[in-house]
Amino acid sequence: MKVCTDACLFGAWVAEDVDILKANNILDIGTGTGLLSLIVAQAKFPIPEIMDTKTGMKENGNSAKIIAVEIELDAAKEAKSNFEASPWKEKIIIENKSIQCFNNTENSLDNLFDCIISNPPFFEGDLQSPNANKNIALHSTALPWPELIIHVDRLLKEDGHFYVLIPAIRAYTMQKLVAEKGIELVEEVVVFNASKQKPFRVLQKFKKTRVPIKQIKRSNFIIKDNENNYTEAFIHLLKPYYLHL
């Protein structure tokens, strides 16, 4: 699976969020090759100062964990390889299963999560690829949005947060589905590839709460300027993760 600019943008946006940074346990639904989990881990677990004399590795005292769930076997294997090659291999757990079959009671963490992140399959009724693995990753037949939200609701703590990347034309659909479970939109970023183009992605943050959200934080984000160069906002957000910025 290719690394896409919108997924990197989503990961960097999530990783700087205060609720993510203070979360004790995070669930990544449909991790693919592990991109989102790794970006969040980089922000959440800075290179530690104390050297572990037994292993020669630097040990981070932060007890927080990320669990990454991926249904497709080859993607899960690649995610595991990527996690193990990173400085955060002790902080990320990979589970090769569908979210429908995932039950956190088998892990040592609390049963429910402080935060859930997802870049879910979002093509619905579109022409599918001959490649079955790509169809699992890109088409919502294996995980329709209503079913995704059922499991977000099942696994998210009260007052926990859910972050999702979706096509701009389906932003209201996601908001409506989530609201039916009492999970309220608190922030929305509309993403444009360029200022004169239509928006193509939306970043959304929700909160599981019994109290209605009085004011939703809304903003726009432009990736490239009129000269086709990355905007200052994009450079600022992605610089910690892009080697060439």
Of the listed ranges 122-136, 167-181, 223-237, the one predicted with least confidence: 122-136
Instruction: Give the C-alpha separation, 198 to 163, whole Å.
Output: 22
Q: How far apart are CA 21 and CA 45, in angstroms?
A: 9
Percent of the chain that is helix, strand, coil (3-state, to 5): 35, 25, 40
3-state secondary structure of 26: strand
User: Which residue in 138, 195, 191, 141 sits closest to 169, CA to CA?
Assistant: 191
The pTM score is: 0.87
- The predicted pLDDT at position 128 comes to 43
65 backbone φψ class: left, alpha, beta (φ>0; ψ -120 to 50): beta
Angle at 190 between CA 187 and CA 194, to 5 degrees: 155
What structural domains and CATH numbers belong to the chain?
Answer: 5-238 (3.40.50.150)
Say how far residue 137 (Cα) sits from the centre of its chain.
Answer: 14
Which distant-in-sequence residues (6+ apart) come within 8 Å of 235 by Cβ? 245
Contact 138, 119 (CB under 8 A): no
Please report the pLDDT score of residue 129 as a whole number.
43
Q: For 69-122, how does the pLDDT look when each residue is reduced to its tens digit (9 = 90+)?
A: 999 999 999 999 999 999 999 999 999 999 999 987 766 566 899 999 999 987
Count of CB atoms situated within 10 Å of the CB of 138: 17
